[in-house]
Amino acid sequence: MRIEYGSKIIKTLRVKILDKPGYLGRLALTVGELGGMFGEIKTVHIGKDYKVRDLDVYFSTKEDVDRICEAISSLDGIELVEIRDIVQEVHQNGKIEVVPRVQIDSVDDLRLVYTPGVASICKLIQESPELARKYTTIPNNVAIVTNGTAILGLGDIGPVAGMPVMEGKALLFKMLSGINGYPILIDSKDPKVIIDTVKAIAPTFGAIKLEDIKAPECFEIEEILDNELDIPVTHDDQHGTAVVVLAALLNIAKYTFINLRDSTVGIIGLGAAGSGIQKLLTAYGIKKIYGTDLNPQMKELFAARGGIPTDLKGIMDNAKIVIATTGCPKLITPDMVKKGQIILALSNPDPEIDPEDAIKAGALYAADGKAINNALAFPGLFKGALMANAKTINSRMKIAAAQAIANHTIHGDLVPNILNIKVHEEVAKAVEEEAYKSGVAKV
């Protein structure tokens, strides 16, 4: 068994290397020539005339693992001691846990947090329900809801198989914004079942994050829940991605001296991500957006939101800014690129066109999806909404999040480092402020 993300397999190779000049270099050259890529390298033991190192290596296929390991084993002065699946090791027993915030050292402590002390808090909340925000975790809890129909690039693999992704989102929530994220797996493809389930559990949470639910069902589910619940409901595949795309475009516009609002945009792929990008760019003020998709229903929905349906050629011929979210590698060929275009080919792990090829073909700026990660947006976006006690997350809050991300990017970069806690704090502040300004904060 192997764990993959897209087309990459990660293994840790423990090797014993003769501690003389050239041996480590020969190993690195062998791995590189056979298509492997190095991650972290650690020295785990130093012997009299050798060193033992752990090498994290990225492979494209299972066959590459076998081929490269066989080649390493044949090198003089190098012994392949062990091959470990580090991804499986990290995921053993899951990635998250619930821990107490209150220390209990005695029976007296227990009486304070449980019976009989807790009864007085229950009565307070019964008399004044708004006190749940003060005396429970509800205002800092977010449900991460999926039915497993659109997990990463893997597709419809079911909710349980998608649990590692939901745990990852919960981990990022806690690490980057201090939010308690709770994975909720719903084993149904019926939108009504999902809607009814979320409505039933909503009192536990301050917000609902819909995750990896396929289009077009995700649109209906989000719209109904957002209208019927008095807490924010956001489909992250749409809006988290859109926020980071807008942030990237704000920086690109600054670097290339273009007027973003006056630019013509073309979106290739009108699923959840493409639709969310269209909605946010329209809210930002971009008036002319072309779009195409293999699914006629997606093109109809795109047109109903004010987009201009066309085909791939129409987008490449007419759009100053091209955004591709199709999952189809090499869909855009260099001969399609027009001089001065800006191209964001966002499909991972293989983009619709390699940025270097796009630049060579005449693009003014090109980037792929490695940096456009919605984890730059959702921790601060939800934190700001929770701090404001907002009843929804509107377009103004999303635009504020994008501007905060753009403003905290090192000059020349597309977006900031995803692990920069300061960025997420600033996003949360901007979102909270805009929630009050736009009138969706509950006082």
Structure tokens at 342: 């800006």
Mean pLDDT value across the chain: 94
pLDDT for 4 equals: 36
Instruction: Please check the confidence at residue 168 and state whether its pLDDT lies above 70.
Output: yes
- What pLDDT band is residue 327 in, cutting at 50, 70 and 90? confident
**Same-fold call for 139-231 versus 237-443:** yes
289-296: average pLDDT: 96
3-class SS at 261? coil
What fold, for 139-231?
Answer: Rossmann fold (3.40.50)
Q: How far is CA 22 from CA 12, 17, 57, 124, 312, in A?
A: 21, 10, 20, 72, 50
Instruction: Please check the confidence at residue 6 and state whether its pLDDT lies above 80.
Output: no
Active site residues: 114, 169
Question: Which sequence spans correspond to the domains of the chain?
Answer: 4-91, 98-136, 139-231, 237-443
Structure tokens at 295: 């699914």
* CATH superfamily of this structure's domain 4-91: ACT domain (3.30.70.260)
Percentage of residues of the chain with pLDDT beyond 90: 92
CATH architecture label of 237-443: 3-Layer(aba) Sandwich (3.40)
pLDDT for 297 equals: 94
Per the listing, tokens 């066309």 go with 310
- What pLDDT band is residue 154 in, cutting at 50, 70 and 90? confident
Which residue type, as a one-letter code, is found at position 302? F
Residue range 340-394, pLDDT digits in tens: 999 999 988 789 999 999 999 999 999 998 878 899 999 999 999 999 999 999 9
Residue range 307-323, pLDDT digits in tens: 999 999 999 999 999 99
Count other Cβ atoms within 10 Å, centred on residue 198. 22
| Listed residue (193, 144, 180) closest to 165, CA to CA | 144
pLDDT for 1 equals: 26
pLDDT for 7 equals: 53
Percentage of residues of the chain with pLDDT beyond 70: 98
3-class SS at 407? helix
